[in-house]
Amino acid sequence: MSSQPSPIAAASAVSARGVRPQDARLHHRALVLSLVRRHPDSSRADLARLTGLSRVAISEVVAKLIDDGIVGEHGQNRKRGPGAPARALHIQGDARHVVTVAISSADTVEGAVFDLNGTLVSAVSEPRNGAVGKDALLALDRMLQQLLATAEAPILGIGISASGIIDTQGIVRSSSHLEWESLRLREHIEARTGLPVSVTNGVTAIGVAEVASGAAPDDLFLIRVGNGVGAVTIVNGAVVHGTNGIAGEFGHVIVDPSSDQLCQCGRRGCLEAVLAVPGLRARLAAASSADARSQVLQDAGHALGTALAPVVTALGLANVAISGPADLLDGTLLAACRSTLDARLFNVVAQGLQVRMAESDESARLRGVFAIVISKELGIA
Ligand SMILES: [Zn+2]
């Protein structure tokens, strides 16, 4: 699969199409911010070279960003040219803060404030105490108020990660863990705070964090194994949402029609019934020998490989990452998944495929929604 078009290619494509000047300005602003973030201490001349834009155009964009306080300049750039010394540019982290909250199937509500550079400013964790429905929404509101009250910079936006099927309008279509149905979460939080809000499924947030951290390239299929099993597909740096946010309900693909394992969706033989953490741990605990335990993990890995093979082939993916408890997933299970894929995939697909544990940690959902907020509000890629 081809990689994401370079920012330079994207910029020339826009100017070639003859878009409106204000659109071009917004695009140039996002492009400059992305480059300054990726290459701190760039000079205006560096940016002109990297983008192919004129020095005048770059100076105009940079002047506005400095005016807004988002970009700062300091010292002398390493490269000295004739005339005035080149000034090194950087993102002013404290110019704005981003507030993030994650409410997942785990019995906690996590919150964090990041600066524009993604540096953690503060973090809070509160027990959810089994709260669902209206009470879960109240727990989320309380966490947000607590974080907003301590914010020391203007807030760029709020990012929320929640478990469930969430569409691109920020409507939680259905969340079985939180017992939310058709909840207009983005509108609710925007009305309460007056700030721009992004709402994302937790697994999607983990995948975005994986790509944003540089741990994965722009094409990634990430499977999250927890109390349920979900997935996210990222192609050319963009999340595939599917109709009404339905993409990623990977756990309810039936991998073994003859299975007697009952899934929480009411059917038998779903991937989730074989792979989700609580069931897997219970079957391991019930296994009477090391061989029996190994078989449990092999069966789960085989089921995962079976479900993955057509997805990997259809999308031409080279990168699959598995996120979840390493003591369960890494080792026997991952190896069984890999060997099933090798047995089922066309040679050329299998050879180019990397299957590995994700680098995500407990803060991945929060870092993922942070990346989504700065991408949406500032266009930073
Ligand atoms: Zn199911």
- Give the CATH number of domain 96-208+363-378: 3.30.420.40
Ligand 1 mean position to 194 CA, how many Å?
39
Ligand 1 mean position to 280 CA, how many Å?
15
CA 347 to chain CA centroid, Å, is 30
pTM of the model: 0.88
Ligand 1 mean position to 231 CA, how many Å?
14
The fold of the 216-357 domain, in CATH, is Nucleotidyltransferase; domain 5 (3.30.420)
Establish whether domains 96-208+363-378 and 216-357 are of one fold: yes
Q: Which residues contact 170 (CB under 8 A, 6 or more apart)?
A: 184, 185, 186, 187, 197, 198, 199
- Tell me the pLDDT of the chain (381 aa) as tens digits: 333 333 333 333 334 445 677 788 888 999 999 999 888 889 999 999 999 999 999 999 999 999 999 999 986 555 555 555 678 999 999 999 999 999 987 789 999 999 999 999 999 999 999 999 999 999 999 999 999 998 889 999 999 999 999 999 999 999 988 999 999 999 999 999 999 999 999 999 999 999 998 888 889 999 999 989 999 999 988 999 988 888 988 999 999 889 888 888 889 999 999 999 999 999 999 999 999 999 999 999 999 999 999 999 999 999 999 999 999 999 999 999 999 999 999 999 999 899 999 997 789 999 999 999 999 999 887
Cβ–Cβ under 8 Å, residues 140 and 175? no
Task: Give me the phi and psi of 44, to 5 degrees please.
Answer: -60, -40
Q: What residue spans define the domains of the chain?
A: 7-91, 96-208+363-378, 216-357
Ligand 1 mean position to 232 CA, how many Å?
17
Cβ–Cβ under 8 Å, residues 77 and 43? yes
CATH class in words for 7-91: mainly alpha
Ligand 1 mean position to 269 CA, how many Å?
7
Q: Is 156 exposed, middle or buried (0-12, 13-18, 19+ CB in 10 A)?
A: buried
Coil, helix or strand at residue 70: coil
